[in-house]
Amino acid sequence: MIMESIRTGRVTRPTAVSRRRVVDAPVRMFHGLFAVCFAGAWLTAESELWRTLHVSLGYSLAGLLGFRLVYGCFGPRPASLRLLVGRLVPLAGLIRNRRAVMTRPVSVWRPLWHGLMSGLILVVLLGAVPVCLSGYLAFHDAPEWVAEWHDMLAEIMLAMVLGHVVLVALGVFGEGGGRCGAMLTGRVPGSGPDLVRKNRTWLALVLLLVVLGYNGYVWLQSRGCGEAVCGEMVSVEGARDGEHD
């Protein structure tokens, strides 16, 4: 291409790679917020100082999960949860035909990767239900075994999330990063029409503002209540000192 440009005297520009939108903004925003809330809740689980934030992040997880279930059932077709379930069908066939996987690993890599990824996503989404429920019960004076189950379920969910991260890394290696970047940009390389016709950026912004606003409000309320309690304690101690004097 360079020699051709020198010979003809024309400057040639590299051909732009065509990309098509396959994931809309609300699904991508859910994915990012769900990851951040789970990571934050896991990191603050053992700290009494951050207990309020741990609880609010847990409630945010439950709210995000509810949004994804509703959006997956009544939203646009590319966001449907049925697509995740449909990708498990080829995976079941590959599991039964293990010989094909061993003899032709390159040809079955893509359906195998998509099937495993979809399965892990469904497990994480469904696993978040008992985690959030047990966390709610443990926060409201449930028996001690409920808190222990909550911790155990959270660890299992963490393992599933780490498995998801490993699959993403393998997908970047196997697909060149094009398809795995869909959760960041919403697009993948390739020709053809966009699967997502409307990006629905406004809905993604509403979801972000609701999560940030809720957690910010709860945190400010907890800080205010803490200062009020401290002020009352100081007043009581001062009154007692005055009585002794």
pLDDT tens digit at each of 245 positions of the chain: 444 444 455 544 444 557 788 889 999 999 999 999 999 999 998 888 888 999 999 999 999 999 999 999 998 888 888 888 887 776 666 666 656 555 555 556 677 777 788 888 888 998 999 999 999 998 888 899 999 999 999 999 999 999 888 888 887 666 555 566 778 888 877 777 788 889 999 999 999 999 999 999 998 888 776 544 344 433 434 444 444 45
- In DSSP terms, which residues pair with 127 in a beta bridge? none
Residue 244 lies inside a defined structural domain of this protein: no
16: CB partners within 8 A, 6+ apart:
none
Residue 17 lies inside a defined structural domain of this protein: no
Residue 192 lies inside a defined structural domain of this protein: yes
Domain that holds residue 145: 22-219
Residue 241 lies inside a defined structural domain of this protein: no
Name the token pair of 107: 């040809």
Residue 4 lies inside a defined structural domain of this protein: no
Residue 229 lies inside a defined structural domain of this protein: no
CA-atom Rg of the chain in angstroms: 25
Number of domains in the chain: 1
Residue 234 lies inside a defined structural domain of this protein: no
Residue 69 lies inside a defined structural domain of this protein: yes
